[in-house]
Amino acid sequence: MSPSSAPTRQDRARALADTLRADVRDGTWPVGEVRTLTALRTQYRVPEYLAADAIKLLKAEAVVETRPKVGVRPKAAGVSWRAPDGERHTVHIERTIRQRITTGTYRPGTLLPTLAALAIEFGVSPSVVSDALKPLRDERLLSVRPFAGTVVTGQHGPRPVASQPTA
């Protein structure tokens, strides 16, 4: 094969997209089954960038849908994404944000990303993120400041109870 007839990156991505499309159509890749780029790279023995290019093509055709940090799956109307490990989204988000606070990713005094940004990251609506953050606000790990956003307080424990005067 001469160098001019070698398939281009775009040709190889289209060929992989054709294979993946056929897998979705014939049920080899069932609706609801989430795969990562690494899993696709391994299964089809292609570089990860090529798997990503193929997924972009299929996403543009509405054959698949993706979620950041979760993966890609065949598109299915009315089927919700599950959080990792099958837990509820609010539990997963609360646990993740708590871990980021305790490990110092989110330091006391810093603003948390907006609800909209976290919603995009976790693939849910902003109201789900707000619900997930409520226990962290109740524990005083987070504080909502009007017109500023949600601030990491770094304080742990329940809200203090007003002291009673002693006689």
| CATH (residue range 9-74) | 1.10.10.10
What is the reported pTM?
Answer: 0.52
Which SS3 state, helix, strand or coil, does residue 74 take? strand
Q: Residue 84 — pLDDT band, cuts 50, 70, 90?
A: low
Torsion of CA 35, 38, 42, 47, to 10 degrees: 130
Q: Average pLDDT in the 3-9 region? A: 81
Q: With beta carbons less than 8 A apart as the criterion, state whether 82 and 90 touch.
A: no
For residue range 19-63, list pLDDT tens digits in order: 999 999 998 998 878 888 888 999 999 999 999 999 999 989 989
Q: Average pLDDT in the 117-127 region? A: 81
Residue 2 has pLDDT above 70, yes or no: no
Pick 84-152's CATH classification: 1.10.10.10, 1.10.3720.10, 3.40.50.10540, 3.40.220.10. 1.10.10.10
